[in-house]
Amino acid sequence: MTALLDRQLLFVTGKGGVGKSTVAASLGLLAAEQGKRTLVCEVDAKGNLADFYEAGETAFAAREIQPRLWAMSMDLEESLKEYLSLQLKIPFLAKIGPLARTFDFIANAAPGVKEILTIGKLTWEVRERHYDLVVVDAVATGHIVGQLTAPQAINELVQVGMVRNQTQWMLDILTDPARTGVVIVSAPEEMPVAETIELAERLDAETDVDLAAIVVNRVLPELFTEREEALFEQLRTPERVAALSEAAGGDVSPVLDAAELAVTLRRTRAEHLATLRDAVDPHLPLIYVPYLFTRSHGARATRQVAELLAEEL
Amino acid sequence: MAAPRKRAAKAPRADAVVGADEKVRTLEQLLATKEIVISCGSGGVGKTTTAAAAALMAATHLGGKVLVLTVDPAKRLATALGLERFGNVEVRVPPEAFAAAGIEPRGELWAAMLDTKQSWDDLVARHAPDPRTRDAILANSLYQNISGRFVQSHDYIAMERLYEIHQSGEYDLIVVDTPPTRNAIDFLEAPDRMAEFFSSKLLRWLTAPTASRMVNFASKPFYTVADRILGSQFLEDIATFFTLFQTMAPGFVERAEAVTRTLSDRRTTFIVVSTLEDAPLNEAEFFIRALDERRLHLGALVLNKVLPAYLRRTATTAVAKRLVGRADEVAGSVAGVGDPADVARVLATVGESFLNYQVVAKREAEQRAGLARSPDVVAAVPYFDADIADLTGLFALGDKIWR
């Protein structure tokens, strides 16, 4: 199997709140630092990719925010304009008055148009080899299959016309596991794990796009070995807590309570991890990213996650 | 058909808990005075579970018929409610499930799930002018594609179903869990957008008689472009579909406006659910602002998975640091628990872990203090040892937010 960062197009998806964008930003950062010309593209127009690099606003036009690392945000209307000028060679696009106003409607009404403009732009960058790697901070788990299958759907819906002719090369790129892969970001919690398993099954059944890896984010550290835990339990008698408090110069109970909380949290999460491991293909890489206690977001967190990913990859 | 609404139970229910000028301070008081509660927030924060717990508490303590309407429940939630599964049609949570949990509810708890496709079909059936048009729309391949994604159809359908159920007068209280949206306010705007769409010029253009449109095709650049990209057959398909769809316009517009009115009705309130993590909290703040701007009623903020307060104690910080820095020495103070080196390692680990969690707890406390505006009712729910798997668990959660 092609190593993750040796592919050319990675769709990073995941349930909301699991750190999908952090992982996408970190994969991009890592690839760039390993010498690859990398584009990170945010598809959900929330405009917060910039927060993960703290490098200012991103727009449709890709901007090099550090050596070999470009960032952009998807904009469907811009994508359509680019497509029209590239494919149809229509000058004076501005003269097409109703374009802007009607665009939103057409995109909503015609199934697959939104998706195809996104997929089209991304695969175009891959086809033209503008970058070594395109990392997509993609739509959430519930929508990714619709997006990835858009070229096929368009192929079936639109009988003739330019779009139909354009979908074949997109499909060629999307379905080539040496070039394209999906990365599902998950967390060791009930719903994210359930959604990850469901998506892995749907990707397999409904698309020909390869699932490249699952990144499990926010994995809590194992505090004790079994023996250490037994020892910890023995420390919790009132006499020993009193002795420890005396020696430590203050009440140690909250510290011990906190350790117990940490063990409980880790344990409930471990069950979800086990569920995930049992449900997915044993050959699929599962990459674990530890929970970051010190930073929850920003450029520093992106860098830390990139370093942790580098160890795992 | 369910039993007629028990109006008599309603008035005393509200008055007993909160007087006319008494301020609402608890979820109990809030729910006693409202008929519709909309639970919102970003995904993964426990929105659905919170909605179910609130509905359970209302059914238990306030009485009457309470419905929890969810969008995409985990199978676990259905199980927790003692139901195999539930669908578009409301089902009653069996009294045996309550009995098993040792709860004697004053009222009834019902549950339903939003089935978007089914709800759209029902909507078409209701608004279509005649059976032929209805069948033509339902059979149209574009409709089948669109009913899943058109104009944020989930959002609209959720609000539409809520309106319908409320109008039916079957329930004293309806608790709705909102669909996971990219944008938390999408569902607030969905009814307006639906009405707007039906009165748009665009729809008129698309549904203009085919002959005159064909003339336009040749003369206007947009049509030329659209034709070259999509092919004229596809455009024809779209036109046919929307011609059919437009026959439903008057009903749809009227309905969408009524749905909008329901959201701003004084009997409706919103509960914002979040954790104290950065992203969900940003979303919650954004949503609170959006509610304010629209003059909608923000009733409560429920904060889930809140770390215990003892983690923030400054005095304990020094103790934890000593455990890390002088583990050997402290380990020497206890006897008879195995190798002192092992004890020292455990103590250092324990101290380190405390300091780690303290960073998170303090960050979360700051996030909480930094909230620009909080409603009168704010409930903090601690981490639970295990995922909620039955009514007992749901009740334990409910207890944390109720009073």
For residue range A129-168, list pLDDT tens digits in order. Answer: 999 999 999 988 877 888 898 888 777 766 666 666 778 8
Query: Is a pLDDT exceeding 80 seen at residue B161?
Result: yes
By mean pLDDT, which of A237-241, B67-71, B192-196, B398-402 is the weakest?
Answer: B192-196
Query: Is a pLDDT exceeding 70 seen at residue B149?
Result: no
CB contact under 8 A, A191 and B234: no
Residue B153 has a pLDDT of 61
Cα A42 → chain centroid: 10
A72 three-state secondary structure = strand
Residue B150 has a pLDDT of 46
Residue B331 has a pLDDT of 92
Residue A3 CA to residue B154 CA, distance in Å, equals: 38
Query: Is a pLDDT exceeding 90 seen at residue A220?
Result: yes
User: Chain B neighbours among A 185-224 (CB < 8 Å)?
Assistant: 189-192, 194, 223-224
Q: What percent of chain A has pLDDT over 90?
A: 60
Q: What percent of chain B has pLDDT over 70?
A: 78
Single-letter residue type at A59: A
Residue B15 has a pLDDT of 42
Residue B7 has a pLDDT of 39
Residue B185 CA to residue B315 CA, distance in Å, equals: 43
- B229 or B215, which is more confident? B229
Residues of A in contact with B337 (CB under 8 A): 231, 234-235, 240
Q: What percent of chain A has pLDDT over 70?
A: 87
> A239 to chain B: nearest residue by CA?
B334
- A190 or A73, which is more confident? A73
Residue B2 has a pLDDT of 42
Residue B253 has a pLDDT of 81
- B390 or A93, which is more confident? B390
Question: pLDDT class for B383, splitting at 50, 70, 90?
Answer: confident
Residues of B in contact with A192 (CB under 8 A): 44
A116 three-state secondary structure = helix
Residue A209 has a pLDDT of 96
CB contact under 8 A, A234 and B338: yes
Query: Is a pLDDT exceeding 80 seen at residue A225?
Result: yes
pTM: 0.82
Query: Is a pLDDT exceeding 60 seen at residue A245?
Result: yes
Residue B242 has a pLDDT of 74
- Chain segment B235-278, per-residue pLDDT in tens: 666 677 777 777 777 887 888 888 889 989 999 999 999 999 88
Residue B32 has a pLDDT of 94
- Spatial neighbors of B366 by CB under 8 A, at least 6 apart, are none
By mean pLDDT, which of A108-117, A244-253, B148-157 is the weakest?
Answer: B148-157
At what angle are helices A141-148 and A113-127 packed, to 10 degrees? 70
CA distances from B400 to B98, B366, B376, B403 (A): 19, 22, 16, 7
Name the H helices within A110-140. Answer: 113-127
The stretch A108-122 carries a mean pLDDT of: 76
User: Chain A neighbours among B 78-137 (CB < 8 Å)?
Assistant: none
Residue A2 has a pLDDT of 66
- Chain segment A78-103, per-residue pLDDT in tens: 887 787 777 666 555 544 545 555 55
CB contact under 8 A, A158 and B145: no
Residue A49 has a pLDDT of 81
Query: CA of B149 to nearest chain A CA: how many angstroms apart?
Result: 8
By Cβ distance, the residue of A142, A249, A262 closest to B353 is A262
The stretch A173-201 carries a mean pLDDT of: 94
Question: pLDDT class for A65, splitting at 50, 70, 90?
Answer: very high
Residue A175 has a pLDDT of 95
- Cα A278–A282–A283 angle (5° rounding)? 160
- A28 or B73, which is more confident? A28
* Both tokens assigned to A138: 């993609």
Give chain B as a 3 state SS string: CCCCCCHHHHHHHHHHHCCCCCCCCCHHHHHHHCCEEEEECCCCCCHHHHHHHHHHHHHHHHCCEEEEEECCCCHHHHHHCCCCCCCCCCEECCHHHHHHCCCCCCCEEEEEECCHHHHHHHHHHHHCCCHHHHHHHHHCHHHHHHCCCCCCHHHHHHHHHHHHHHHHCCCCEEEEECCCCCCCCHHHHHHHHHHHHHCCHHHHHHCCCHHHHHHHHHHCHHHHHHHHHHCHHHHHHHHHHHHHHHCCHHHHHHHHHHHHHHHHCCCEEEEEEECCCHHHHHHHHHHHHHHHHCCCCEEEEEEEEECCHHHHCHHHHHHHHHHHHCHHHHHCCCCCCCCHHHHHHHHHHHHHHHHHHHHHHHHHHHHHHCCCCCCCEEEEEECCCCCCCCHHHHHHHHHHHHC
User: What is the pLDDT of chain A when averaged over all its residues?
Assistant: 87
By Cβ distance, the residue of B231, B319, B338 closest to A250 is B319
Residue A251 has a pLDDT of 95
By Cβ distance, the residue of A97, A108, A259 closest to B353 is A259
By Cβ distance, the residue of B43, B142, B182 closest to A17 is B43
Residue B81 has a pLDDT of 83
By mean pLDDT, which of A47-56, A161-170, A215-224, B131-140 is the weakest?
Answer: A161-170
Question: pLDDT class for B4, splitting at 50, 70, 90?
Answer: very low
